[in-house]
Amino acid sequence: MAAYITHPALSSLCKINCNINAIYSLISFSRRISISSVLSTSAVTTESEAAGQGVRGQRRSKRQAGEPRTERMTVDQDWTAVYPTAASFKPSTVPLPVRMGYPVKRGVPPAKKGNLELIKIPNFLHLTPVAIKKHCEALKQFCTEWPSALDSDEKCMKHFPIQVQSKEFVSAGLSLKNPDARIVTLKVKLSSLNLDDHARKKMIKLGEERYCKDTDTLTITTDSCPLRQQNYDYAMYLLTVLYHESWKTEAWEQEKTRADMEEYEWEDSPSQKNVLDTLLRMRPLGAKDEVEELLGQPAVQEYRDTMLRLKNEGETEENLHKYKEAVKKLFNI
């Protein structure tokens, strides 16, 4: 049913005369005629409107809706004036021919006029680039200048290696606060810290799954304290403790076994022993111990390289092929 605007005079008229049945019928009859002469709607709607008016009694007159605002919009208008704040989608205000919804019976999605789907969803019509530029211009008076020396990402990372992230939440509900706002994430690259070989390995072991090997980043996430400030302090404290602990060497670290090693080392490995044994059996040593000499041969070095690659990088066809070549050279096949 198309909505119609109640004419104030007529409505007051009908209110006054509603109790008098006879006059009411006269007035309703006259009103029906006047409405039908003014409106050029279809006969069906007039009929139904009349029936409705007849049944319900007081009826507000229907005024035809004027042309939508979009007809009068120019291309270079100021959009921020149309949507200055977040508002729902108004089909008469947005000049885009948007369609949304499920196409019923192999048709097309319904048009924007009266489309509830478009109204339901959130829109960002109030945040166009122009609008954001205006926001920035307005906020500029409260900002200080970006330091000119930090003009590239690398320089920023070099001087400020620790990145702290936290989220702000704005909600309009019973309470303005959001408990997730207390979470603080601290990211730092281990290459920017002053660590030697042992300290680095120990830090990675202590960090367990907080360390990402691909990006060499240690990520510490804290949410145990109720306030963001406290969480930030706790994260900084954790970083400091990790750093200092990894520089210390405990007594029990001497018991580190081969299984604990992060990388495969060829020295002292069963592989080296095997190769040595085989070479010795092939050519027994002379009086002098020439183990280092044997191991220093280029063929053995090449074998060592391929073994390291196989074990550290994983096994692929390529690595296996190189291993085969190295073994062939070692035994002169």
Partner 1 sequence: MNLHKLSSRLCPTATQKFRHLHIPSSGQQLEAVALETASAEPNPLSVFRTSEQDPTYHSEGHTGQYYMLPPAHIQKLFPYGLPPRFQLQIKTFNEGCVMVRPPALELISYLKRADYSKPPLRYVLHGDIGTGKTMSLCHVLHYCYTQGWLIVHIPDAHLWIKNCKELLPSSSRPSRFDQPIQASQWLKNFKITNERFLSKLKTTQRYVWTKRESTKKGQPLGELIDQGVNRMKSSSDVVGAVLRELRLQAGGTTEGEGAFKLTVAVDGVNALWGKTSLKKEDRTMCEPEELTLIHNLRKMMKNNWSGGAILTALSQTGSVFKPRSAYLPNELLGEEGFDSMEPFVPVSVSNYNEKEFESCYLYYLDRSWLQHPHSRSEEGKKELIFLCNKNPSILERLCAAL
Contact footprint for partner 1 (CB under 8 A): 270-271, 274-275, 277-278, 281-282, 303, 310, 315-317, 320-321, 323-324, 327-328, 330-331, 333
Nearer to partner 1, 167 or 328 (CB): 328
Q: Which residues contact 185 (CB under 8 A, 6 or more apart)?
A: 164, 165, 166, 219, 220, 221
Nearer to partner 1, 153 or 263 (CB): 263
Tokens encoding 41: 């709607």
Residue 149 Cβ vs partner 1, minimum distance, rounded to whole Å: 51
Residue 301 Cβ vs partner 1, minimum distance, rounded to whole Å: 14
Nearer to partner 1, 251 or 259 (CB): 259
Residue 201 Cβ vs partner 1, minimum distance, rounded to whole Å: 21
Residue 317 Cβ vs partner 1, minimum distance, rounded to whole Å: 7
Nearest Cα residue to 101 out of 114, 88, 92, 87: 114
Residue 303 Cβ vs partner 1, minimum distance, rounded to whole Å: 7
Asked whether 228 and 182 are in contact (CB, 8 A), the reply is yes
Nearer to partner 1, 223 or 302 (CB): 302
Nearer to partner 1, 105 or 281 (CB): 281
Q: How far apart are the C-alpha atoms of 134 and 45, rounded to whole Å?
A: 48
Give the Cα-Cα-Cα angle 80, 85, 86 (nearest 5 degrees): 120
How many Cβ atoms from other residues are within 10 Å of residue 96's Cβ? 9
Q: How far apart are the C-alpha atoms of 333 and 323, rounded to whole Å?
A: 14
